[in-house]
C-alpha cells in the first residue's frame, strides 16, 4: 500500500501538537520516495536539529537571528536556513509571523504549541 506524503504528515499530527516538549526535530514532510525531509539529509538533518533546539524555548525568533546564531550560521547558506524555516511553517511544524515595521519585513518563527 502506498501512503502519500500528506497522509504521512497527518500521522505526525499528534506529535506536532506537542512539539514544545519534543527534543528530536520532527520530520517536516516525506516525499513519494520515502525520504524524510530534512532529517534524513547528511547536512540538513543536523542543521534542522540545531534549529529545532534553538527554538526550544517556545518564544518567537527572528529568522535573521536564527540564521546568524553560532550553532547554525556556518552549516549552510542563509537562504537554506530560511528555506528550512519556511518549509517547517508551511507544513505546520513551526508557526510563522510576518510584521512590517517601518518598512522592514520582520519574519519570526516559533514551535507549534
Rounded Cα–Cα distance for residues 46 and 40 (Å): 9
- How many structural domains compose the chain? 1
pLDDT at residue 99 tops 50: yes
pLDDT at residue 88 tops 50: yes
**Residue tagged 517601518 (cell numbers):** 102
Classify strands 36-37 and 29-30 as parallel, antiparallel or unpaired: antiparallel
Phi first, then psi: give them for residue 102, nearest 5 degrees.
50, 45
pLDDT at 20: 46
Positive or negative CA dihedral for 38, 46, 81, 97?
Answer: positive
- Helix, strand, or coil (residue 35): coil
- Name the more confident of 34 and 78: 78
Q: What is the CATH number of the domain that holds 46?
A: 1.10.10
Question: Which residues 6+ apart lie within 8 Å of 97 measured at CB?
Answer: 60, 107, 108, 109
- Name the more confident of 69 and 42: 69
Q: Which of 9-23, 28-42, 49-63, 65-79 has the lowest mean pLDDT?
A: 9-23
Q: Which domain holds residue 24?
A: 5-111
pLDDT at 72: 94
Mean pLDDT of the 52-76 span: 95
What global pTM score does this model have? 0.76
Amino acid at each position: 500500500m502506498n501512503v502519500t506524503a500528506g497522509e504521512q504528515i497527518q500521522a505526525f499530527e499528534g506529535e506536532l501538537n506537542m512539539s514544545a516538549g519534543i527534543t528530536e526535530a520532527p520530520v517536516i514532510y516525506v516525499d513519494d520516495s520515502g525520504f524524510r525531509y530534512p532529517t534524513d539529509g547528511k547536512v540538513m538533518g543536523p542543521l534542522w536539529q540545531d534549529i529545532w533546539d534553538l527554538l526550544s524555548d517556545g518564544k518567537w525568533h527572528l529568522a535573521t537571528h536564527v540564521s546568524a546564531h553560532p550553532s547554525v550560521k556556518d552549516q549552510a547558506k542563509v537562504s537554506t536556513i530560511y528555506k528550512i524555516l519556511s518549509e517547517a511553517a508551511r507544513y505546520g511544524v513551526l508557526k510563522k509571523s510576518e510584521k512590517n515595521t517601518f518598512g522592514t519585513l520582520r519574519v519570526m518563527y516559533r514551535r507549534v504549541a
